[in-house]
Structure 1
Amino acid sequence: MEEYNSGDEQVVFNADEVNISVKECIEGVIGGTDYNQNKVNQWTASIVEHSLTHLVKQGRPFKYIVNCAIMQKSGAGLHTANSCYWDTTTDGSCTVRWENRNMYCVVSVFAVAL
């Protein structure tokens, strides 16, 4: 957990809380389904929108960027990386990895303090 101080108000980017919230969004959208190439665009858009809505409802003074990738399990490797050049005392990020028996979902959340 990273803590930030904005004037008199203390602002906290809680990566664990964001992780739980994003996993709930993923489960709600693709939790019990099998991979379907025709639905991946719809799923990714829905996961991003739901995640962003939950983050904004927390009322914390951040701008959020949410990125989602869904990949069918096929035995191929999946590697992701993020790098940020920002103020580490005020900004934060987390990456959520979720999988079921036939697909992977990776969601990255970036929070930039206002």
Structure 2
Amino acid sequence: MEESPQLSFSSLQSGVRDAISKVLEVTLQDRKYDASSIEEWSDAICSQTLAALRSISGSFKYTVTCVLTQKTGGGFHTSSAACYEPSTDGCVVERWENQSILAIVVVFGCSL
């Protein structure tokens, strides 16, 4: 029996970016930075993004991280690293902002 070719995460990246952007927009669009709400918002962003990813493809294990920070004019730096198979796995980083919030969502997709 012939094995079917593995799906590549790179073929899904456009849809993944769209899904992340939609979740961020719905969750944060009319919000002003509020430190007491950050945990709730970041949990919602991660869980809704994960649900959207599963509907795009169940052929991957996903890791979703979300960073929310107040826009104050200061710098913000972050980095991520992973060891994965580039022919099947991948990563998407999506940045979103409004007047008072900067959001960065990182998704790693690793083929099952």
Please give the TM-score of this superposition, normalised by the length of structure 1.
Answer: 0.89
Residue 53 of structure 1 and its aligned partner are, at CA, apart by 0.2
Q: Which has the higher strand share?
A: 1
Task: Answer yes or no: is the 8 Å Cα contact 1:97–1:105 preserved in 2.
Answer: yes
Identity of aligned residues (%): 29
CA shift, 1:17, in A, is 1.4
| Structure (1 or 2) with the greater helix fraction | 2
Could you say what the CA RMSD is over the residues aligned between the two structures, in angstroms? 1.2
Could you list the runs of 5+ residues in structure 1 that have no partner in the other structure?
1-6
The count of aligned residue pairs is 108
- Per the normalisation by structure 2, the TM-score is 0.90
Deviations 1:18-77 (A, max 9, x none): 111101001111111111111000000000000000000123400000000100011110
Whole-angstrom CA distance in 1 between matches of 2:95 and 2:32: 17
Which residue among 71, 81, 84 is the counterpart of 2:82?
84
Is the Cα–Cα contact under 8 Å of residues 11 and 60 in structure 1 kept in the other structure? no
Match of 1:61 in 2: 59
Deviation track 1:2-27 (CA, whole Å, cap 9, x = no partner) reads xxxxx314513222211111010011
Report the AA paired with residue 7 of structure 2: V
